[in-house]
Structure 1
Amino acid sequence: MSTFKLVVVSAGLSKPSSTRLLADRLADATVRRLGGAAEVTVIELRDLATDIAHNFVTGFPGAALRGAVEAVTHADGVIAVTPIFTASYSGLFKSFFDVIDHDALAGKPVLIAATGGTPRHSLALEHAVRPLFAYLRSVVVPTAVYAATDDFGATGDRHTGGLAGRIDRAAEELAALLAGRGPAAAEQPETVVPFAEQLAALRV
């Protein structure tokens, strides 16, 4: 059975973090819908904050940041979760995706989610986070998941379906996109022909 590479980007700043909690629940739900055929890599942006700042100054990523960027670039799908500050994504979240090449996420399935202290910030997913990934030409799943503090442990109502219902719906949409595309084929190592052999071929 082929295995999907699923990368989870969490921009939570505290530890423990409600942002990371939401990210883990989304990843678990997606893996279940893929029948367990997924390899999950979690990127905690709080651990990369210094590397991200240095990259903007020097233009060169450190080893940890380079590994995170490569993981996102080669992922089959991405779950991106940010806390909402001042009605938008966090600066750390935006800075990380600024580091990644603009073509790296083109056509890649992405599930977006966010956390905040109040339900009033839920529309930030639609007016800030979704346009960011639309600019990067990602395929964003229809259901964006927002979790306010009161959502954790709540059952919801007939209009919202509760946080668990939103997580399940978004995970199902992401899994369907991944299953439709199939896992990316492993990259083949580049064949390097020694310069002497190239010269010999020209002389023939």
Structure 2
Amino acid sequence: MEQLRLVAVSAGLSSPSSTRLLADRLAEAVRGELAERDRKVEVEVVELRDLAVPIANNLVTGFPPPALAAAVEAMTRADGLIAVTPVFTASYSGLFKSFFDLISPDALTGKPVLIAATGGTARHSLVLDHALRPLFAYLRALVVPTAVYAASEDWGASGDEYTEGLPSRIDRAGTELAGLMAARPAGEAGETDEIAEFEGQLADLRFD
């Protein structure tokens, strides 16, 4: 059985970053669940802070530098995606949006995606449903039901009888993404890309 590929995109700006920490925790939850299903997974983390200049260059020139092209290729070829952003002005960060602006609208079609965000206060948690879900719906990705928001006070908190703690939410979201990834044959992402490319060629013909 082929090894699955998981890519986690972190848009954290600082180092160390709570956004990167959340991405790592989510990736580990997915890896652990897949291990219980006897599936091996290769995990790659894309740090957008390291690609800020290449992203800007791509936006103004239309051509991705090699490091950015490699990151986009890894994401579009992955069997599953974790996307984590800090909250800026009640939405995803500009760096996060700029990166996904460079992705072909068909590149993530049908790909399982886990969305997550970090912020200083729990009142920004609606960013998951008001900003991130619509973005990935537009990209026609398959977003798992559980999205994870981590406020500053969530780190180290275990929750209460009414609210799940952050570790429980991470485990539940990781289980959902692992289930969708395990249900897809490894390498299917590449086949999806070829289909999407063919559909794009047909669309070009129709509009000529």
2:15 is matched with 15
Q: Tell me whether 68-77 or 178-187 shows the greater mean CA deviation.
A: 178-187
Deviation at 1:187, TM superposition (A): 6.3
Q: For this pair of structures, how many residues does the alignment match?
A: 188
Deviation at 1:70, TM superposition (A): 0.3
Q: 1:120 to 1:187 in 2, by over 3 A?
A: closer
Q: Distance in 2 between matches of 1:134 and 1:59?
A: 24
User: How do 1:1-204 and structure 2 match up within 5 A?
Assistant: 1-35=1-35, 37-184=40-187
Structure number with larger C-alpha Rg: 1
SS in 1 for 2:68: helix
Q: 1:164 to 1:50 in 2, by over 3 A?
A: same
SS in 2 for 1:155: coil
CA contact 2:77–2:189 (8 Å) conserved in 1: no
Q: Distance in 1 between matches of 2:112 and 2:29?
A: 16
Gaps of 5+ in 1: 189-204
Gaps of 5+ in 2: 192-208
Q: 1:185 to 1:89 in 2, by over 3 A?
A: closer
Deviation at 1:179, TM superposition (A): 1.0
Please state which structure has a larger fraction of its residues in helix: 2
- CA displacement, residues 57-108 of structure 1 (integer Å, 9 cap, x when unaligned): 1110001000000001100000000000111000000110111111100000
Deviation at 1:2, TM superposition (A): 2.1
Q: 1:86 to 1:179 in 2, by over 3 A?
A: same
Amino acid at match of 1:159: Y
What's the RMSD between the two structures over aligned residues? 1.4
Q: Distance in 2 between matches of 1:187 and 1:157?
A: 43
Q: Tell me whether 163-172 or 35-44 shows the greater mean CA deviation.
A: 35-44
SS in 2 for 1:34: helix
Amino acid at match of 1:182: P
Q: 1:30 to 1:60 in 2, by over 3 A?
A: same
Amino acid at match of 2:8: V
SS in 1 for 2:5: strand
Q: Distance in 2 between matches of 1:112 and 1:187?
A: 22
Q: 1:159 to 1:69 in 2, by over 3 A?
A: same
CA contact 2:111–2:189 (8 Å) conserved in 1: no
TM-score using structure 2 length:
0.88
Amino acid at match of 1:25: R
Amino acid at match of 2:60: V
Identity over aligned residues, as a percent?
69
